Amino acid sequence: MDIAILFVVGEEVDHCGMTAANALKLTPQFLIVAEPTDSKLARMQKGILKLTVASKGVACHSGYPELGVDAIAPLLDVLTAIRDEKWPADAEIGATTVNIGVLKGGAAANVVPEAAEASVMFRLVSAPDPVFARVAELAAAKGRGQVTVTRTTSNPPVRLATMDGYPISTVCFNTDIPYFNMPADAKAFLYGPGSITDAHCEREFIKLSDLKQSVGDYFAMAERLLTRGH
């Protein structure tokens, strides 16, 4: 058997790198994905639903708001409804969480805003389609006919392979794994040094000792899978 290292981009946006990698027509029996998991094997990862919630209005001088249509107000109403909704929860992997990651709109404080939009991400513990459908319902009910919802990408939670001898956990983040066309009987593993709770913030770091340990761990995992298959 062969071992290969695949480097991809776009995992945090639209998974374009892993999607493009499918053109290579690789058929691995095993896939080890490196993400910060506190040096534990993850048995399950949350799914994801990325949305753009957009609103259209009509700009005018804010001294005469009756001459325009405010785009921001209905968007805020929809986002409030999304935040107030009770989303699915799961005993094994926890609750659905929602993050309004980007919010933009308007031209100036003295202008009734013509357009506004928000980038919204759900960390899913259930299938994405019912959640998307509920967001669309909330937009229709609260958006005054001005708000649309567009799906960027989505996938359900993923159950992952594990092996004896390693600590096991579940993770509340998503990875490229569901965007890679693997054979039906292939196994995907998720393992890496560092903590995801240190990512995307001022203190982001991984200990050098953990990085050094991970080199040996990855070699040991690969050797075990190639020789024993589990």
Burial of 19 (0-12, 13-18, 19+ CB in 10 A): middle
Choosing from 11, 85, 117, 204, the catalytic residue is: 11
The strand pair at 47-56 and 97-105 is best described as: unpaired
Closest CA to 31 of 9, 8, 55, 60: 8
CA 198 to centroid of chain Cα atoms: 17
Is residue 137 annotated as part of the catalytic site, yes or no? no
Output the CA torsion sign for 193, 203, 103, 75: positive
Give the other-Cβ count within 10 Å of 186's Cβ: 14
Catalytic residues: 11
